[in-house]
Amino acid sequence: MTPSPLFRFAVFLTVACAPLLPPPSAAAEPATEQPATANPYTRRQVQNKTNTLINQKDYAGLEAWAAELQKQRGSLYSLDYPLAIFYRTLQIDAKAKEPVWETRRGLLENWLAAYPESVAARTALMDWAINYAWKARGTGWSREVSEEGRKGFKERLAEAKTHFDTVMAQGNGENVYFYRIAMALGLGQGWELDRITACLDLGREIDPNYQLLYDGVAMYLAPKWYGAPGDIERFAANVASRFEGEESDFIFSLLTAFAVEHSSREATEFYERNPDIYERLKRGFEIGIRNAPEEWMKALYASDLMRFAVFKGDYATARPLFLEWGAACREHLLGEREGYLNLRRQSGAQAEIDKALQLEKEGKLEEAEALYRSFSTREKQARWLYHFYYRQGMKEKFLAVGGRPLPDIRKIPFNELHVTISRAAILGEWPTAKEGAARFNEKRPWNLTGLGVLFLCAAQEGDPAAGEALRASLLENKTSRPALQNARAILSGEKTWRETASAFHEEDGFNQQAAIVVIGWYLSQGDRKQAAEVLEAMTPPGGFKLEASNSELLNCMRYGSLRRLFENRSAAGEG
């Protein structure tokens, strides 16, 4: 969806020649009348209650719950707005199949039928239609969208627009989330800038600290949408003038971050336009890191500072940030996996991480622990130390830095089973791993997580017959997934692992499951040398992502507690 140059120019004139926000007035600054209050609900509480109400078709309950959440006001530094969590919980995963989407639509329409004037129900339907429109279109560039995708996008946004028009006609009340979703509608339909900023102004009258309102305008002004270089910086400065002190610097940095995505070219042009901007950006992000109420929000703001610091060449700032937050940062802000690693290398942090991993690989765990400890001054939030203790199966130390104990394998929901069995194997809880993996494999034989853990259990027990039985079950599995087919070809003797190893390099969960199965097979048969060769051959250049659950078993084979399976020693117990 690329705007015309004429429209870009019109936006530029609007931004350059007139303020993006109206002059200060009592109506536009209601903070003294509606002070921010502490959020009494956790994210999980909002999600659980919302899911319960929609699943029970308790529309009266949904009305009351939405009204209660609508009263909550938040901190400018927070993204955990109860009302936003409520609406996001009502939405469907983009990967879900059409019947799932239609079922949810039916529930939301029934809610609206029960309460025809419900702004909450219409907002949920509007949100649903916008997300459904993006499902039709896809997230690629405009030139990559099919005609069918364009048609579905347009039709579903039109459906969202009918809900928007109805709410605007009847009155919105105090639903600030409605205005943020209206901006998303305007982004898709190509509204004029003044309509987008009108939504901002109306939302600010309800809650001037609602961060996502400002994000919505900044996203609209991004050059890949409807803005031109420099628009976002001017908008950020204008918004910042409405706040004082630390909040002013923070919101300036937060919004300016939309001006640069991931490329060094964009960053170079940005700093050429704004040669004196970096110190204020740095100060604003540091304020956000200090004041954010949740760790994941701190990591979000740290991720922004990391990339702007590297692009500026301020490695003295970037390097400790990558070490402090690297295991919890938001890669989508850093150019996804490849971009993130490039920035981490440029900062100098990767050399320290590689040194620590090599110490792990050599079994010098005390030295590795000391190095990881130096990465962060906050032991309870020391993510590298957390992952190190986990990887090495050091249960007591893992729990001491915030790790969770294993739940009762018989009581956990099935959808949490695949993660739990991997954790059990890594932490040396082999009976738990075996029981859970058998249960998982019985219900989901096409997902190789359970089978892979069972192979590792057979290796740990020194039971080649059990490994052979597992191999036979794999050969009978007719699933068409390419990763499974590759694993089956290797274990059947149709191909050698050397012929197929590169096929496992793509960092995909199915590939990693299949790799664990092949390695586990060799380990179960006592062929540790060949298992080690397969592990190295199937490891992609640059290694597996250290912080991802899909690759944690493979990383534990390379660096952690599961290395003992390759050394003819028990992998159980404290590392």
| Domain identity same for 389 and 449 | no
| Residue 526 Ramachandran class (φ > 0 left, ψ -120 to 50 alpha, else beta) | left
**Is there a single domain that holds both residue 390 and residue 499?**
no
**Could you give the percent of the chain with pLDDT greater than 90?**
57
Which comes out higher in pLDDT, residue 460 or 21?
Answer: 460
- Which of 467 and 9 is assigned the larger pLDDT? 467
For the range 383-388, what are the long-range contacts, defined as Cβ-Cβ under 8 Å and sequence gap of 24 or more?
383/325, 383/326, 383/327, 383/328, 383/547, 384/323, 384/326, 384/327, 384/353, 384/356, 386/327, 387/327, 387/546, 387/547, 388/356, 388/360
Same domain (yes/no): 430, 557: yes
Least confident interval from 89-93, 251-255, 378-382, 435-439: 378-382
**DSSP reduced 3-state for 222:** coil
* pTM of the full structure: 0.77
| Domain assignment of residue 512, yes or no | yes
Residue 82 belongs to a domain: no
E strand residue ranges, 16-148: none
- Angle, vertex CA 222, rays to CA 217 and CA 223, nearest 5: 145
- Considering only residues 547 and 343, tell me which one the structure prediction assigns the higher pLDDT: 343
- 3-state class of 168 per DSSP? helix
Q: Are residues 444 and 559 in the same domain?
A: yes
- Picking from 377, 400, 423, the residue at the C-terminal end of a domain is 400
Task: Provide mean pLDDT across the span 400-411.
Answer: 88
Give the pLDDT score at 334: 61
- Do residues 544 and 440 share a domain? yes
459 burial via Cβ count (<10 Å: 0-12, 13-18, 19+): buried
| Confidence tier at 325 by pLDDT (50, 70, 90) | confident
Q: Is residue 541 part of a domain?
A: yes
Kindly state whether residues 422 and 492 are assigned to the same domain: yes
pLDDT band at 380 (very low <50, low <70, confident <90, very high): low
SS3 content of the chain, % helix, strand, coil (to 5): 70, 0, 30
pLDDT exceeds 50 at position 17: no
Q: What pLDDT is attached to residue 122?
A: 96
Given a cut of 60, whether residue 22 has pLDDT beyond it is no
Asked if residue 93 belongs to a domain, the reply is no
Residue pLDDT, tens place only, 59-75: 999 999 999 999 988 78
Residue 51 lies in a domain: no
DSSP state, 489? H
Q: Are residues 500 and 450 in the same domain?
A: yes
Under the banding of pLDDT at 50, 70 and 90, the label for residue 28 is very low
d(CA 347, CA 141) in angstroms, rounded, equals: 31
Distance of CA 376 to the CA centre of its chain: 22
Lowest mean per-residue pLDDT among 149-158, 168-177, 182-191, 248-257: 168-177
**Residue in 378, 329, 379 with CA at minimum distance from that of residue 349:** 329
Does 575 fall in a domain?
no
- Domain-located, residue 418: yes
Is the domain of 439 the same as that of 358?
no
Domain that residue 357 falls in: 349-400
Instruction: Clarify whether residues 374 and 469 are in a common domain.
Output: no
Domain count along the chain: 2
128 vs 14, residue with greater confidence:
128
In this structure, the answer to whether residues 394 and 425 fall within a common structural domain is no
Residue 336 banded pLDDT, cuts 50, 70, 90? low
- Residue 190 zone, left/alpha/beta (φ > 0; ψ -120 to 50; rest): left
pLDDT at 217 over 80: yes
430 and 560 housed in the same domain? yes
- Name which of 39-43, 203-207, 557-561 the model is least confident about: 39-43
pLDDT at 32 over 50: no
Is the same domain home to 510 and 441? yes
CA distances from 3 to 135, 149, 187, 192, 263 (A): 21, 18, 11, 11, 21
